[in-house]
Amino acid sequence: MSGERTGAGLLAGRGVLRRLGGVPVVDRVDLAVRPGRVTALVGPNGAGKSVLLDCLSGLARPDGGRILLDDRDITRAPCHRRARLGVARTFQQVAVFPELTVAENVQVGAEQQRPSRPGGAALRARLTAPPAVAVRQRVAGALRLLGLTPLADRPAGDLPLGVLRLVELARALAGAPRVLLVDEVSVGLDAGQVAWVARVLALVAREGAGVLLVEHDLGLVSRLAETAYVLDGGRVVATGPIERVLADQRVRRLW
């Protein structure tokens, strides 16, 4: 089964093109993130993985191609609207808010869920917007899931990098995402934390969300993912079931 048939995807990129200074760094990439699965995106440094993630999450606008969520075109939707539609992400350079506490960091992710549609829909959405209790439950749930409850009231600025990665992941999960884009989550984590994160990501996928894992740690990738895309020089050079992709001679040469 090939990943190019994007119709089955929850979040899909079709022919995504992104240039920096005239040079394509993401070159007409087709990619699909399926619900209930972990999909891996691997490749050497500078292959364009993070830029592709920016295009999918809305931080960068592609110079060509389309981004689809449930077959709906969201190419022009700004990042925050995509987040509200259920596309969450973490960053390679960890993105937490140092002035806020751990719990407040997670709360920012939980309380933005208010779909903005015009007219009566907006009013209904407002009336059914997450009430404070639900937000608090979601924050507590996300903190518990990542073992952060004891640190809830600590300012994030005081914590080590490994913990901050968990905080960022908790914030992404608190928004109850349908698609989770994870960028190099294992960097700065110790072995125990990596195992914990792997369990959490597997759980997220089991509950029906799609996970896109950008990762250098091939051990983590082969443990979690079913499908993989290999990116090199901005192009997809291999794709398919994870074992086959990782065994491919052309792919092995890249490492």
Partner 1 sequence: MADPGLAIDFALAGVAVGSAAALSGVGLVVCYRLTGVLNLAQGGIAVFIAYLLRELVVVRGWPVGWGAVLCLLVVAPGLGVLLQLAVFGPLQRRQAAIGEVVVACVGVLVLLIGAVAAIWGTTPLTDVPSLVPARTVTLPGGHLLRVDAVAQLGTVLVIAVALWAIGRWTGFGVRARAVSADPTLAELAGVNAGRVAAAGWAFGSFTAGLVGVLLAPLVLLDPYGLPLLVMETLAVAVAARLQSLPIAVAVGLALGIGQSELTWLHPGGTLGPLLDAVQSNLFAVALLVAALVPWGFVEGFTEQGLLGGGGVPQLGRRRGGDAGWGSSWGWGWATAVCALALLTPLALRAGGVRAVLTVPALALILLSVVLVTGGGGLVSLGQGAFAGLGALAAALLASGRVPVGAALVVTVLGLATAGLLIGRPVVHRRGLVLALVTFALAVGLSRFVFEQPYATAGLTVLRPVFLRGDHAFYAAELAVLAVGALLVAAVRRGRLGRALVAMRDHEAGAWAAGVAVPRVKLLVFGLGAGLAGAGGVLLALGGEAFDASVFDPVQGLLWFAAVVVAGVDSAVGAVLAAFALVGLDAATVPGMSAVVVGALAAGAGRLPGGLAGRVRRAVPG
Interface ranges with partner 1 (CB under 8 A)? 54, 57-60, 78-81, 83-84, 88-89, 91, 95-101, 104-105, 107-109, 111-113, 116, 154-158, 168, 171-172, 175
Counted residue by residue, the chain has a size of: 255
Q: Which CB sits closer to partner 1, 107 or 239?
A: 107
Distance separating alpha carbons of residues 93 and 185, to the nearest angstrom:
10
> At residue 25, what is the residue type?
V
Q: Which CB sits closer to partner 1, 50 or 227?
A: 50
The secondary structure of residue 155, as a DSSP letter, is B
Distance separating alpha carbons of residues 70 and 137, to the nearest angstrom:
28
Sign of the dihedral defined by the CA atoms of residues 128, 129, 132, 135, in that order: positive
| Least distance CB 208 / partner 1 (angstroms) | 20
| Least distance CB 81 / partner 1 (angstroms) | 8
CB 63 within 8 A of CB 23: no
CB 153 within 8 A of CB 103: yes
Burial (0-12, 13-18, 19+ Cβ within 10 Å), 39: buried
Distance separating alpha carbons of residues 41 and 51, to the nearest angstrom:
12
Q: Which CB sits closer to partner 1, 29 or 102?
A: 102
| Least distance CB 7 / partner 1 (angstroms) | 27
| Least distance CB 180 / partner 1 (angstroms) | 11
Residue that the structure tokens 């993401």 belong to: 26
Q: Which CB sits closer to partner 1, 101 or 239?
A: 101
| Least distance CB 248 / partner 1 (angstroms) | 32
| Least distance CB 219 / partner 1 (angstroms) | 27
Q: Which CB sits closer to partner 1, 84 or 223?
A: 84
What is the bridge-based pairing of β-strands 64-69 and 11-20? antiparallel
| Least distance CB 94 / partner 1 (angstroms) | 9
Distance of CA 23 to the CA centre of its chain: 25
For residue 10, what are its two tokens? 């929850």
Q: Which CB sits closer to partner 1, 6 or 101?
A: 101
Q: Which CB sits closer to partner 1, 100 or 218?
A: 100
